[in-house]
Structure 1
Amino acid sequence: MKFVFGDAIIAIVGFGILYFLLHRYALGPLMGMMEKRRELITNQIESAQKDRQDAAAFIAEQKEALANVKKEAFEIVESAKANASRQAEEIIEKSRAEADRIKADALRDIESEKNKAIAALHAEVGSLSVAIAAKIIEKQVDEQSQQALVAEYLKEVGGVQ
């Protein structure tokens, strides 16, 4: 094998033309597509990281909102308990006051009826005394008859009551 200088130059020039054509039509577009693909993957990674951070922030926000809701619910329950206790106290106090008022009214009514009964009894006793005295004077009876007459009128008074 002999080295032929002309063949070497033709091979070098052919290789150069082939390299130029491959670089221009194959490697250039292939490298451009590879660069676009790298940029796309980089953007997707950045987007995924941003989405993850947003999701973490949203989760933290939701946890805080849930804690606030739980706190508000606890406060509402405590407020309702306090209101119920206060209302129960008010109802008991009103009931006691009403019972005291009814008791006082009943005592006044009893006292009034008692006074009316006493007045009626005094009137009845007075009229009975006059009637007894009149009958005693009319009959002018002896002491034993007088005792029987008083006993009879006392029985009548006892029956009237």
Structure 2
Amino acid sequence: MSWHWESTVIAMVAFGVLYWLLSKYAFGPLFDVMEKRRQLVLEQMNTAESSRKAAEQQMEDQKAALQQARKEAYEIIEQARTTSSKQADDIVQTAKTEASRLKDDALKDIESEKNKAIAALRSEVGGISVKIASKIIEKQVDEKSQEQLVDQYLKEVGSK
């Protein structure tokens, strides 16, 4: 086997021409397609990352909203408890006040009826005393008759 320098030169020239043709017509469009593909993959990765971040942010917002809703619900429950406790205390206080007022009114009515009864009794006793005195004066009786007369009038008063 002999070595021929002409064939090496021709091979190098052919390789250079082929390389130039490939780079002009094949590598350029191929590299463009590959670059476009790389850009598309980068865009998709960036979009996926931003979507992930947006999803995380939305998840945090939902957690915060849920926490706020729970807090508001707890506050509403506590306010309802406080209001119901206050209303119960108000009802009890009103009932106590009304019971005290009714008791005072009843005591006033009892006192009034008692005074009326005492006044009526005094009036009746006064009338009976006058009758007894007039009978005693009319009869001018002795001590024994006088006691019988007083006992008789006391029985009359007791039966009325």
The two structures have a TM-score, normalised by structure 2, of 0.74
Paired residues, number: 158
Write out per-residue CA displacement over residues 63-120 of structure 1, whole angstroms, 9 at most, x where no aligned residue: 1222222222222222222232233223322322222222222212211111111011
Kindly indicate whether residue 40 of structure 2 is the aligned counterpart of residue 37 of structure 1: no
Q: Which stretch shifts more, 23-32 or 77-86?
A: 23-32
Aligned to 1:102: 102
Taking every aligned residue pair, what percent have the same amino acid on both sides? 52
Cα distance in structure 2, aligned partners of 1:19 and 1:74: 78
Q: What's 1:91 paired with?
A: 91
Partner of 1:64: 64
Aligned to 2:55: 55
Give the unaligned 5+ runs of structure 1.
none
Larger deviation, residues 92-101 vs 49-58: 92-101
C-alpha separation in 2, matches of 1:54 and 1:127: 107
Match of 1:152 in 2: 152
TM-score by length of 1: 0.74
Q: Distance in 1 between the 2:139 and 2:24 partners?
A: 166
Superposition pairs of residues 19-38 of structure 1, within 5 angstroms: 20=21, 27-38=27-38
Amino acid in the other structure paired with 1:39: Q
Query: Greater CA deviation, 82-91 or 132-141?
Result: 132-141
Q: Residue 62 of structure 1: CA displacement?
A: 1.5
**Range with bigger deviation, 129-138 or 96-105:** 129-138
Q: Which structure's relative contact order is higher, taking Cα pairs within 8 Å and 6+ residues apart?
A: 2
